[in-house]
A and B are shown apart, each in its own frame.
Chain A
Amino acid sequence: MDKGLELRDVRIEKDGSALIALDARIGSGEVLTVMGPSGVGKSTLLSFITGTLAPGFSASGRVILDGLDITDLPAHRRRVGILFQDDLLFPHLSVGQNLAFGLRAGGNRDARQAKIESALAEVGLEGFAGRDPATLSGGQKARVSLMRMLLSEPCVLLLDEAFSRLDAVLRDQVREMVFARARARALPILMVTHDAEDARAAGGQVVTLGPTSG
């Protein structure tokens, strides 16, 4: 079976005019960076892959994940993980409950609890399970958000300007941590960014989208 994410002749239109055309393959542990100015449709590409394309957009082409065509699956069956520029932790759940929400179903209570504890330990947040997410620092939130996503055992990682809200020092740390955790799980990564530093750090191939008229 072909591991990785394949975008087969993907074309996205907005209200009838062409926005994006992309044909790409990302193997296990590889990174593809999509760059371009804001408004060019980078995030739209990701929402096509997650299955949450907004009304007004139409798309053609196929999304193949680990050999499986997920184009027509509902969002929650696709096993696509995504991180946005905001941490988007659920504010009504504790840190531990946020992680439990992500953790795939199955296992008894103790086993699940142990997985959550070890996920927190993996990013240096032991003992944080009972905390209110609103009391965490920006870097801590980013780490919880990453682990919540990884606990859902996705087959691909999408990064939607995931580091652009963090200050310079924190950005390097978080970026390094995300790439390291993804590589450890041999996940393909599709990153959209407008920051050249992100692309350099990722090290993989770079696609630059421009206004389609040009």
Chain B
Amino acid sequence: MVRGKGLLRLVPALTVLAMLGPVAAGLLGALGPALGHLPAAGLSAPPLTPLTAVLSTPGIDRSIRLSVTTGLAATALALGTVTLLLAGWTGSRAFGLLQRALSPLLAVPHAAAAFGLAFLIAPSGWLARIVSPWATGWQVPPDILILHDPWGASLVAGLVTKEVPFLLLMSLAALRQVDAARSRAVALSLGYGPVMGWIIGVFPRLYAQIRMPVYVVLTYAMSVVDMALVLGPTTPPPLSVQIVTWMSAPALEMRMQAAAGALLQLALVLATLALWWLGERVVARLGRRWVTAGRRAPAVEPLRWLGLAAASIVAMTVLAGIAVMMLWSVAYVWRFPAALPGALSGAVWIRQGPVLSSTLAETMWIASASTAMALVLVLGCLEAEQRYRLRLSGRGLWLLYLPLVIPQTAFLPGLQALLIDAGIGAGQIPVILAHLVFVLPYVFLSLGDPYRAWDARLGTIAATLGAGPNRVLWRVRLPMLLGPVLTAAAVGLAVSVGQYLPTLLIGGGRVMTLTTEALALSSGGDRRVIAAFGLMQTLAALLPFALAIGVPAVVWRHRKGLAHG
């Protein structure tokens, strides 16, 4: 029927390969070294030696416990905040404001959000400066451990600021498929308060839709490295950081230990996901019992204020974090406890200018390459789905979420070992392909719905006017979907810009992006330089979103019919 159809038919398979191939290869690649077999380094050990070494590491029990507790706490807090906010405030003006504030914050990279938070809450941070010395009497920073606290509270706080916007946006997308407004109206008419009515009438259906994103959050929170380096406990660190330490150790035997740790991390995440799943069952059962009892529970209603407060704190924290990074990047003298710098200077920007711009260039090249590949694959999948009914993302979209619920620390060590084994040196191309694993699902999730929601009758009309499938695609569908395509590209760029571990491990230290550079600097402790890199990273992730909104508005300024599409 159509020329080139063979190629298009291959795209879904190619996409699955690009997305899951590295994950599967990485997990398999970890098996050998984890069992004491690392021929590339000429090493072999009895099969259980690496695991024994892992388990006999001092403090490993605390590392494991930290991964589980910080992961569960961050996920529960983020989900709770989003639930209370939606239950108490959907449709209100406050909600509209928060939604507008939180949406762009989703693009702020994790590392930048972590630096911003650290600059706020550290003993010498902005918050302490603002209340000192008039309220506290502090003339020097107080000697209390806030960052790197042994319980991981700062890490949890950092994770919550990033995961609330994520879960909120996923929920807002899902709510369109749930008849929320009318369900709540019915609940109200039956005598339930707005919050209780929403929790009983809407939440169960919403949760069914956002279950996978919640699992992604839990997996991410349990295995995050970049945020944990900035905010997390250090002695001992969470398991994920411990694995990366082993990976970066000069002694090659440590690679076997790292591989064993990676598999342990995978088992830990899977077990915690199972625990969460059981928790869902328990909550559902309790909920059903509650509904059967018909309790209206008016005492629940005031909790909406908690949701509003938590969401507002999240939004203000990220915004204030960006603001304090701006101040630090131009601060010449900023002694404690002054609330503002005593003198300003552009010296850091000038001194770091060459490094900043070359790192920015490398960051954007990697991000653009992986995003362009992702866009081609995703558009190919969606076209193949429409033309040949080859549906990649069927029920539950589980395939797309799979690379996101396997912890990065579980498969990247094995992938790195495989690349070394295969004699493929570290470098940009492997890094781009590693980024693609994470960019692809997000681009797909972003573009899939608007692509499918496009009125197919326009395609029929175009075809009856004599346009073949390719002409329909290039002349009608893609131009009309310019906004969603650019937004998906911005999502892809932001995901790539924010990647730390794939860049670090697969790049073998030879590929420097704004994220890896900022984290490398973070141990040095010059706040001005860290702030400059953090800001640059934020800008690199945010600007594409501004373009995705601005470009269609300019291109289609004389086309009212596309103003909201």
Question: A81 near B: Cβ within 8 Å?
Answer: yes
Question: B464 near A: Cβ within 8 Å?
Answer: yes
Query: Which stretch from B183-191, B340-348, B452-460, B514-522 is at the chain A interface?
Result: B452-460
State in angstroms the CA–CA spacing of A6 and B436 once bound together: 52
Q: Are B463 and A101 in contact (CB under 8 A)?
A: no
Minimal beta-carbon separation of B468 from chain A (angstroms): 5
State in angstroms the CA–CA spacing of A84 and B456 once bound together: 12
Query: Which stretch from A110-118, A127-135, A206-214 is at the chain B interface?
Result: A127-135
**A47-B460, A82-B460, A134-B560 are contacts. A88–B455 as well, Cβ < 8 Å?**
yes
State in angstroms the CA–CA spacing of A154 and B2 once bound together: 21
Question: B182 near A: Cβ within 8 Å?
Answer: no
**A55-B389, A74-B1, A84-B457 are contacts. A91–B561 as well, Cβ < 8 Å?**
yes
Question: A92 near B: Cβ within 8 Å?
Answer: yes
State in angstroms the CA–CA spacing of A108 and B457 once bound together: 30
Q: Are B560 and A88 in contact (CB under 8 A)?
A: no
Q: Are B559 and A88 in contact (CB under 8 A)?
A: no
**Number of interchain pairs (Cβ within 8 Å):** 86
Minimal beta-carbon separation of B480 from chain A (angstroms): 5
Question: A60 near B: Cβ within 8 Å?
Answer: no
Q: Are A92 and B463 in contact (CB under 8 A)?
A: no
Q: Which residues of B contact A89 (CB under 8 A)?
A: 561
Give the dominant DSSP class at A's interface.
loop
State in angstroms the CA–CA spacing of A132 and B561 once bound together: 8
A138-162: contact bitstring with B at CB < 8 Å (1 yes, 0 no)?
Answer: 0000000000110010100000000
State in angstroms the CA–CA spacing of A81 and B465 once bound together: 7
**A132-B559, A132-B561, A134-B560 are contacts. A92–B464 as well, Cβ < 8 Å?**
no
Give the most central of A90, A135, A148: most B CB within 10 Å. Answer: A90
Question: A76 near B: Cβ within 8 Å?
Answer: yes
Question: B466 near A: Cβ within 8 Å?
Answer: yes
B218-244: contact bitstring with A at CB < 8 Å (1 yes, 0 no)?
Answer: 000000000000000000000000000
Q: Are A91 and B565 in contact (CB under 8 A)?
A: yes
Q: Which residues of B contact A102 (CB under 8 A)?
A: 465-466
Q: Are A51 and B559 in contact (CB under 8 A)?
A: no
Q: Are B461 and A88 in contact (CB under 8 A)?
A: yes
State in angstroms the CA–CA spacing of A89 and B562 once bound together: 12
State in angstroms the CA–CA spacing of A154 and B464 once bound together: 8
Question: B467 near A: Cβ within 8 Å?
Answer: yes
Q: Are A101 and B465 in contact (CB under 8 A)?
A: yes
Closest chain A residue to B463 by CB distance?
A75
Minimal beta-carbon separation of B309 from chain A (angstroms): 43
Q: Which residues of B contact A101 (CB under 8 A)?
A: 462, 465, 467, 475
Minimal beta-carbon separation of A48 from chain B (angstroms): 12
State in angstroms the CA–CA spacing of A202 and B21 once bound together: 60
Report A36-58 residues with CB < 8 Å from chain B CB.
47, 50-52, 55
Minimal beta-carbon separation of B332 from chain A (angstroms): 51
A82-104: contact bitstring with B at CB < 8 Å (1 yes, 0 no)?
Answer: 10101011111000000001101
Minimal beta-carbon separation of B198 from chain A (angstroms): 34
Minimal beta-carbon separation of A176 from chain B (angstroms): 22
Q: Are B460 and A134 in contact (CB under 8 A)?
A: no
State in angstroms the CA–CA spacing of A172 and B460 once bound together: 26
30 A-B pairs within 8 Å (CB atoms) are namely A50-B463, A52-B456, A52-B459, A52-B460, A55-B389, A74-B463, A75-B460, A75-B463, A76-B463, A76-B464, A76-B465, A76-B466, A76-B467, A81-B464, A82-B460, A82-B461, A84-B461, A88-B461, A90-B462, A90-B476, A90-B480, A91-B480, A91-B565, A92-B556, A101-B465, A102-B465, A102-B466, A134-B560, A134-B561, A152-B464
What are the 7 tightest A-B residue pairs by CB atom distance, in nearest-first order? A91-B561, A134-B560, A75-B463, A134-B561, A152-B465, A102-B465, A76-B463
Known A-B contacts: A50-B463, A132-B558. Give 4 more (CB < 8 A).
A47-B460, A76-B468, A89-B561, A92-B562
User: Which A residues have a C-beta under 8 Å from some C-beta of B?
Assistant: 47, 50-52, 55, 74-82, 84, 86, 88-92, 101-102, 104-105, 132-135, 148-149, 152, 154
